[in-house]
Chains A and B, each alone.
Chain A
Amino acid sequence: MTQDTQLRSWEVFTQTRSGANYIHAGSVHASDRNMALQNARDTYTRRGEGTSIWVVPTDAITASDPNEKEMFFDPANDKIYRLPTFYTMPEGAKAI
């Protein structure tokens, strides 16, 4: 990969409606947090997708190591009792 020369990188999270989760939309370049917000607005919400935006410096995010995927995630594979599949959904409930 070539060196990124276009300012600092920021991760963008947008909220589609009040109260909803912020969802990762992508990333932008910007030299400061105000510019990051503006660039995020222009890049990810220009067709009315959002009501609120978070921007976070990319290097402030700690990510899990893909090489440790087995250690991190495999132990969860064979424990179906952790899933609420044995409960009957009450009638009319859309989510528990």
Chain B
Amino acid sequence: MNNQTPLLTYCLRLGDNALIQSYRLSEWCSNGPILEEDLALTNFALDMTGRADLLLAYAATLEGKGQTSDSLAYRRPEKEYLNCLIHELPDEDFAFTMVRLMLTSAYDMLLYSALEKSPNENLAAIAAKAIKETRYHLAHAAGWVERLGDGTAESNSRTMQALTMLWPFTGEMFETDSAEQQLAADGIIPNITALKEPWMEKAAQVLKSATLEIPALKTWQTGGRTGRHTENLGHILCEMQYLQRAYPDATW
């Protein structure tokens, strides 16, 4: 961990975000409220798997120790995963999934739009692909947040509850460290601090039309970016890594 170059760490963070998002979305497979939504959510999960694959494959190349996207995805111990905590929280209900997808897609839109301009061709190409997918995820999720928030008393209260649970985890998405700041100063990656305000604007716009209040907060949850996770990640990895742990190098 400590020997990682800043760019490698950065790619693992983005890759792990996509990987864990994919896992949570894939849990809706066969459990969607209607068939159409089931398909949509599994489509999104596959988009995220593709993104994780590209980012982790690039991370493996940067590391140069013979790892692959698969070995990074399925064989690392828990503390080496660097995803933000917001992605690993278990889905409480459909409203929770949609609020989270709206908040994180709005973030991904800004992040990948900026990253597309990176002089690093690998990152720019991955970002260009991610933007198209994310634009759709955001439209889909924002539409549902508006419908549910501005829907019935029941759907409004559930959506508000989801927002209240998720909001403390949004701060971590904008955290940075000196290594990342150096990459940003060199123009390789976006300055994430500068994206907070446009993100807040977008989130506030959707939440307003959903008649939801942004929770007032003084404390934020943090830890995932440095490998300190909630208990939920362990449970995810138990299931996600099972096959590769039980049958290493299994293929089909």
Query: What sequence of 0s and 1s flags, for each residue 54-78 of chain A, a beta carbon within 8 Å of any chain B beta carbon?
Result: 0000000000000000000000000
Instruction: Give A32-57 as 1s and 0s: 1 = Cβ < 8 Å from B's Cβ atoms.
Output: 00110011001100100000000000
A30 close to chain B: CB less than 8 A: yes
Q: In the assembly, what is the distance between CA of A29 and CA of B147, in Å?
A: 15
Interface residues on A, range: 10 to 19
Interface residues on B, range: 10 to 19
With A34-B143, A38-B139, A38-B143 in contact, is A7–B39 under 8 Å at CB? no
Cβ-defined contact, B34 with A35, below 8 A = no
Q: Are A38 and B40 touching (Cβ within 8 A)?
A: yes
Check A46–B147 contact: CB distance below 8 A: no
> When the two chains form their complex, are residues B36 and A28 in contact, meaning their CB atoms are under 8 A apart?
yes
Q: In angstroms, how far is the closest chain A Cβ from the Cβ of B227?
A: 35
* Contact status A7-B34, CB under 8 Å: yes
CA distance A35 to B143 in the complex (A): 8
B residues contacting A by CB (< 8 A) are 34-37, 39-40, 43, 136, 139-140, 143, 147
Which A-B residue pairs are the 10 nearest by beta carbons? A39-B36, A42-B40, A6-B34, A42-B39, A28-B36, A42-B43, A46-B43, A43-B39, A29-B34, A43-B36
